[in-house]
C-alpha cells in the first residue's frame, strides 16, 4: 500500500481550478464581514529552486523586478480596502513564498506599512512569515521582530549535508545551525522548523540526529514532512522518483514521530508537533486545553466550526489563494519558471483587481468534503454535532467511508464535549492515504486533466 498519495493541505487542489468568467470579488467580499479572517501575501521569489519544489516560485529575479511586484501588491491592497465590508477584521497576516526574506529590508518595510495602513487588522493579530537558512540573518530577523512578527517558520529539512545535497537545498548544516541560533535568540512567540523524511539513503539514525539537533534549540513547533516528488520538479526529471519507498518512509515517520512525542511534543496532525510546555504555543494564550485520547491539546488548536470549515482568507500577490465562501480564487497554477513569470507579469499589468479569472465555485457537496477533510485529519478530529449544525445532515450518512475506517482502526469515536471522531495513532500516519479518498470524482477528473495538459 502506498501511504503517500497526496498532502491534503487544502481542498480542492489548485489543479482543479479553471478559467472563470463574469466573477467579481465584490460579490463575495461579504464573506469577510466580522472578525477572524486571514490575510495572505505570496512573494514568489527564491534564490534557488529546491529539487522537490513544485510551488509557485521563480528564481533569478533582481531587486527592480521585486520592486515592480511590490508596486502591484500596493495597488491591490488599496483597491481591496475600498471593497472590504466596514466590519472586516483580520486575525492574522501570513507571508509565504517563495522565500520572503530574499527581499531587501526596505521592501519588507514597504509591505508592512501598506498592510498596516490599508488592511483592518485585529489589535492582537498574529504575523506569520516563512524563511530559509541562507536568508536568515541578524539584521532581517531583528527587523521582523520590530515589525511585530509573532511566528517564524524555517525550512531546514535536514542537518545532514549529504541529505541536503540530495534534496537540492543550497544551504549546509553549518549555515542552518547559525540561522536556527539567530531565530531562537530573537524572542518570537513561536519558532517552527520543517524537516523532510523518506529520501533514499536517509536512515533512522540520521533523521534522529537532525531532530535532536533541532530540539537542542527548543523550537515551539516541528513539522515533519514526507518527501513528495511531484510532476515537473527537478528530482523527477533526474529520475529519482522511482527511488522512493513508501514502506521505508513510513518506518522513518514512525521513528521520528515517536522521538518527538517522547521529547515533549504533542502530535496535532501527521506533520505538526507542538511543544507541550506552557507558554510555548504558537497561537493563543499559551494555556493547554482539552484532554482528548489521553493527550492534552491547546484549546486554540481545536477546529473552527463555522459553515465552510474555517474563516475566509484573502490573498494578495500572485500565486496565493483566496477562500471566500463558495469561491476559491487564484492565478493559474504554474510550476515552470517561464510560465510562472508570465503570470507574474500579467498580475503586474492588472489595473482592476476585482475581477476573478481563475478559480472554482464549490457545490454543496464540495463544501461538505472540504469541511470533513480540514477537520478529520487534525486532532482531536471532527464533531458529529458540529457537522449536523452546519449542514443539517448526519456525518456518517453523508460519508459512510468513515465507518469503514473506524472498523479498520484508523479512526475512533470519543466524547470530549463535541462527540469527536478522530484519527488513531495508526490513522495519523495514514493521513495522506485517507484524505485523498474524500476527493470527489469531479475534482479527481479535473486534477487528472491538468496533469495530462501539463505533461
- Give 225-280 pLDDT, tens digit per residue: 999 999 889 999 999 999 999 999 999 999 999 999 999 999 999 999 999 873 33
* pLDDT value, residue 318: 97
3 state SS for the chain: CCCCCCCCCCCCCHHHCEEEEEEEHHHCHHHHCCCCEEEEEEECEECCCCCCCCCCCEECCCHHHHHHHHHHHHHHHHHHHHHCCCCCCEEEEEEEECCHHHCCHHHHHHHHHHHHHHCCEEEEEEEEEEECHHHCCHHHHHHHHHCCCCEEEEEEECCCHHHHHHHCCCCCHHHHHHHHHHHHCCCCCEEEEEEEECCCCCCHHHHHHHHHHHHCCCCCEEEEEECCCCCCCHHHHCCCHHHCCHHHHHHHHHHHHHHHHHCCEEECECCEEEECCCCCCCCCCCCEEEEECCEEEEHHHCCCCCCCCCCCEEEEECCCCEEECCEEECCCCCCCHHHHHHHHHHHHHCCCCCEEEEEEECCHHHHHHHHHHHHHCECCCEEHHHHHHHHCCCHHHHCCHHHHHHHCCCEEECCCCCCEEEECHHHHHCHHHHHHHHCCHHHHHHHHHHHHHCC
* pLDDT value, residue 417: 57
Among 301, 323, 338, residue at a domain's last position: 301
Same domain, 396 and 294: no
Q: pLDDT tens digit string along 332-375?
A: 999 899 999 999 999 999 999 999 999 999 999 999 999 999 99
Cα(225)–Cα(223) distance, integer angstroms: 6
Same domain, 280 and 401: no
Q: Give the domain CATH number at 153.
A: 3.80.30.20
Total structural domains within the chain? 2
Among 301, 322, 337, residue at a domain's last position: 301
CA count, 13 A, side-chain hemisphere, 27? 10
Q: Do the beta carbons of residue 220 and residue 273 sit within 8 Å? A: no
Q: Is residue 345 part of a domain?
A: no
Q: Do the beta carbons of residue 81 and residue 32 sit within 8 Å? A: no
Segment 84-97 shows an average pLDDT of 97
Q: Is residue 116 part of a domain?
A: yes
Q: Is residue 5 part of a domain?
A: no
* Residue 307's pLDDT band (cuts 50, 70, 90): very low
* pLDDT value, residue 414: 77
pLDDT at residue 314 is higher than 90 = yes
Q: Do the beta carbons of residue 289 and residue 296 sit within 8 Å? A: yes
Same domain, 297 and 395: no
Same domain, 182 and 270: yes
Same domain, 269 and 387: no
Cα(289)–Cα(349) distance, integer angstroms: 48
* Residue 418's pLDDT band (cuts 50, 70, 90): low
Q: Closest by alpha carbon to 289, among 190, 415, 419, 380?
A: 380
Whether residue 41 has a cis bond before it, omega within 30° of 0: no
- State percent of the chain over pLDDT 70: 92
Same domain, 254 and 395: no
Q: Closest by alpha carbon to 376, among 270, 291, 294?
A: 270
Same domain, 297 and 369: no
Distance of CA 287 to the CA centre of its chain: 24
Cα(28)–Cα(356) distance, integer angstroms: 11
* Residue 57's pLDDT band (cuts 50, 70, 90): very high
Segment 83-88 shows an average pLDDT of 97
Name the residue with cell 520543517.
194
Segment 390-413 shows an average pLDDT of 97
Strands 190-197 and 221-226: parallel
* pLDDT value, residue 4: 97
* pLDDT value, residue 291: 31
Among 246, 268, 301, residue at a domain's last position: 301
Q: Is residue 100 part of a domain?
A: yes
* pLDDT value, residue 279: 39
Cα(269)–Cα(324) distance, integer angstroms: 25
Same domain, 233 and 378: no
Q: Is residue 32 part of a domain?
A: yes
* pLDDT value, residue 203: 98
Using the CB atoms, write b or e for 141-158: b if 16+ within 10 Å: bebbeebebbbbbbbbbb
Query: Rounded to a whole number, what is the largest CA-CA distance in the chain?
Result: 58
Same domain, 141 and 70: yes
pLDDT at residue 395 is higher than 90 = yes
pLDDT at residue 284 is higher than 60 = no
Q: Is residue 313 part of a domain?
A: no
Window from 63-67, 228-232, 427-431 with minimum mean pLDDT:
228-232
Q: pLDDT tens digit string along 103-157?
A: 999 999 999 999 999 999 999 999 999 999 999 999 999 999 999 999 999 999 9
Q: Is residue 309 part of a domain?
A: no
Q: What is the pTM of this model?
A: 0.92
Q: pLDDT tens digit string along 199-222?
A: 999 999 999 999 999 999 999 999
* pLDDT value, residue 399: 98
Same domain, 24 and 150: yes
Strands 355-361 and 18-24: antiparallel
Cα(228)–Cα(54) distance, integer angstroms: 10
- State percent of the chain over pLDDT 90: 88
* pLDDT value, residue 311: 82
Residue span of the structural domain in which 375 resides: 364-438
Q: Give the domain CATH number at 426.
A: 1.10.10.10
Q: Is residue 31 part of a domain?
A: yes
Amino acid at each position: 500500500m502506498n501511504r503517500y498519495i497526496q498532502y491534503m493541505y487544502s481542498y480542492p487542489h489548485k489543479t482543479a481550478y479553471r478559467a472563470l468568467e463574469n466573477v467579481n470579488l465584490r460579490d463575495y467580499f461579504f464573506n469577510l464581514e466580522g472578525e477572524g479572517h486571514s490575510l495572505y501575501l505570496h512573494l514568489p521569489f527564491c534564490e534557488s529552486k529546491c529539487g522537490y519544489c513544485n510551488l509557485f516560485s521563480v528564481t533569478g529575479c533582481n531587486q527592480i523586478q521585486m520592486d515592480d511586484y511590490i508596486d502591484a501588491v500596493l495597488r491591490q491592497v488599496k483597491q481591496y480596502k475600498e471593497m472590504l465590508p466596514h466590519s472586516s477584521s483580520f486575525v492574522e497576516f501570513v507571508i509565504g513564498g517563495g522565500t520572503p526574506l530574499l527581499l531587501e529590508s526596505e521592501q519588507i518595510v514597504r509591505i508592512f506599512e501598506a498592510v498596516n495602513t490599508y488592511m483592518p487588522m485585529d489589535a492582537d493579530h498574529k504575523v506569520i512569515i516563512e524563511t530559509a537558512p541562507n536568508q536568515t540573518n541578524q539584521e532581517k530577523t531583528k527587523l521582523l521582530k520590530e515589525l511585530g512578527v509573532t511566528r517564524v517558520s524555517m525550512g531546514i529539512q535536514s542537518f545532514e549535508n549529504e541529505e541536503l545535497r540530495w534534496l537540492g537545498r543550497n544551504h549546509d548544516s553549518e549555515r542552518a545551525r547559525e540561522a536556527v541560533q539567530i531565530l531562537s535568540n530573537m524572542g518570537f512567540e513561536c519558532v517552527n522548523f520543517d524537516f523532510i523524511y523518506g529520501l533514499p539513503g536517509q536512515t533512522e539514525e540520521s533523521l534522529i540526529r537532525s531532530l535532536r539537533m533541532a530540539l537542542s534549540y527548543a523550537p515551539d513547533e516541528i513539522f515533519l514532512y514526507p518527501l513528495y516528488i511531484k510532476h515537473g520538479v527537478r528530482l523527477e526529471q533526474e529520475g529519482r522518483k522511482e527511488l522512493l519507498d513508501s514502506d521505508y518512509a513510513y518506518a522513518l515517520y514512525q521513528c521520528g514521530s515517536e522521538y518527538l512525542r517522547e521529547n515533549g511534543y504533542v502530535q496535532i496532525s501527521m506533520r505538526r508537533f507542538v511543544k507541550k510546555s506552557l507558554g510555548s504555543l504558537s497561537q493563543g494564550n499559551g494555556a493547554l486545553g482539552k484532554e482528548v485520547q489521553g493527550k492534552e491539546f491547546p484549546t486554540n488548536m481545536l477546529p473552527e466550526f463555522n459553515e465552510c470549515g474555517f474563516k475566509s482568507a484573502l490573498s494578495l500577490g500572485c500565486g496565493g489563494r483566496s477562500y471566500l465562501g463558495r469561491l476559491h480564487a487564484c492565478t493559474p497554477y504554474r510550476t515552470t519558471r517561464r510560465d510562472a513569470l508570465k503570470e507574474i507579469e500579467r498580475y503586474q499589468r492588472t489595473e482592476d483587481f476585482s475581477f476573478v479569472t481563475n478559480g472554482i465555485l464549490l457545490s454543496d457537496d464540495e463544501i461538505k468534503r472540504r469541511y470533513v477533510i480540514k477537520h478529520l485529519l487534525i486532532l482531536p478530529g471532527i464533531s458529529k454535532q458540529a457537522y449536523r449544525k452546519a449542514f443539517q445532515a448526519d456525518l456518517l450518512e453523508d460519508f459512510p467511508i468513515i465507518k469503514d475506517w473506524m472498523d479498520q482502526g484508523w479512526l475512533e469515536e470519543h466524547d470530549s464535549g463535541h462527540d469527536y471522531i478522530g484519527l488513531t495513532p495508526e490513522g495519523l500516519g495514514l493521513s495522506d492515504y485517507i484524505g485523498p479518498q474524500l476527493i470527489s470524482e469531479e475534482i479527481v477528473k479535473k486534477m487528472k486533466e491538468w496533469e495530462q495538459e501539463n505533461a
